[in-house]
Amino acid sequence: MSIVFYWHPNSSASPIASALAELDVPHERVRIDIKAGEQRRPEFLALNPNGVVPTLTVDGAPMFEALAIHLWLAERHGVDRGLWPAAGTPERLQAMSWCTWAYVSYGAAFWSLNLAIRGESGAHNEALAQQSLARLDQLLAVLDGHLAGRPWMLGASYSLADLVVGSVLRYSVFLGAPVASHPRVQAWLDKVTARPAMQLEQG
């Protein structure tokens, strides 16, 4: 199987780089210089019509959207490595639910905060920022409750669900998401980000 990973350092492709490292999946990397606009070239748009990273090709077939790539890697490589639950198990349902929660439910509030702080006009929208922070706080309380009595997202062992959810939360911290106000979430996130795959130099 030939896997090619199109990426740019310190971007939304970084969690995929961490997942590939955690799974030890052989692959080729192609750096896309998004500052130079390489993501808008026709040959790249043929792989990812959104013109963004990350993008993956599997035996030449393209795949885009970070969550889709995460879930494919988890199902294809994670089960054998003990980092993703087997199909048909309650743990698999939980893993898929929490990964989607991170990118959809939490992600919506996170990007709302991003818009409030870094809107297209460059103006700070304080009302939207406060609304977004309140929503993030509610969602973090949900995660904090989930982590009560369990060291990792799915129970006793680390999994790719931790990597996926942790990657989204780690980035949200830079915009001011109130992770530190939720002790169990903060302690868990510290463990996730300390893993070697999350510490690799992404450049």
Residues 104 and 188 grouped into a single domain: yes
Residues 59 and 105 grouped into a single domain: no
Residues 73 and 102 grouped into a single domain: no
Q: How far apart are CA 199 and CA 184, in angstroms?
A: 21
Structure tokens at 11: 């971007």
How many other C-beta atoms can be found within 10 angstroms of the C-beta atom of residue 93?
Answer: 12
Tens digit of each residue's pLDDT (9 = 90 or more) over 150-184: 999 999 999 999 999 999 999 999 989 999 999 99
Whole-number pLDDT of residue 1: 87
User: Among residues of the chain, what percentage have pLDDT more than 70?
Assistant: 96
Residues 161 and 71 grouped into a single domain: no
| Polymer length in residues for the chain | 203
Residues 127 and 165 grouped into a single domain: yes
Q: Is 48 contained in some domain?
A: yes
User: Among residues of the chain, what percentage have pLDDT more than 90?
Assistant: 89
Residues 96 and 72 grouped into a single domain: no
Beta strand pairing call for 3-7 and 28-31: parallel
Whole-number pLDDT of residue 121: 61
Residues 117 and 172 grouped into a single domain: yes
Last residue of a domain, one of 28, 43, 78: 78
Residues 7 and 27 grouped into a single domain: yes
Residues 74 and 157 grouped into a single domain: no
Last residue of a domain, one of 26, 49, 78: 78
- What is the CATH classification number for the domain harbouring 170? 1.20.1050.10
Neighbouring residues of 119: CB distance < 8 A, sequence distance ≥ 6: 125
Residue 61: what are its φ and ψ, rounded to 5°?
Answer: -85, 125
Residues 135 and 56 grouped into a single domain: no
Last residue of a domain, one of 45, 78, 111: 78
- What is the CATH classification number for the domain harbouring 41? 3.40.30.10
Residues 71 and 108 grouped into a single domain: no
Choice among 18-27, 49-58, 119-128, 171-180 with the minimum mean pLDDT: 119-128
Q: Is the pLDDT of residue 202 over 50?
A: no
Could you tell me how many helices (H) and strands (E) the chain has, helices first? 9, 4
Total domains present in the chain: 2
Q: Is 85 contained in some domain?
A: no
Q: Which domain holds residue 51?
A: 3-78
Residues 187 and 143 grouped into a single domain: yes
- Chain-wide mean pLDDT for the chain? 94
Q: Is 55 contained in some domain?
A: yes
Tens digit of each residue's pLDDT (9 = 90 or more) over 50-95: 999 999 999 999 999 999 999 999 999 999 999 999 999 999 999 9
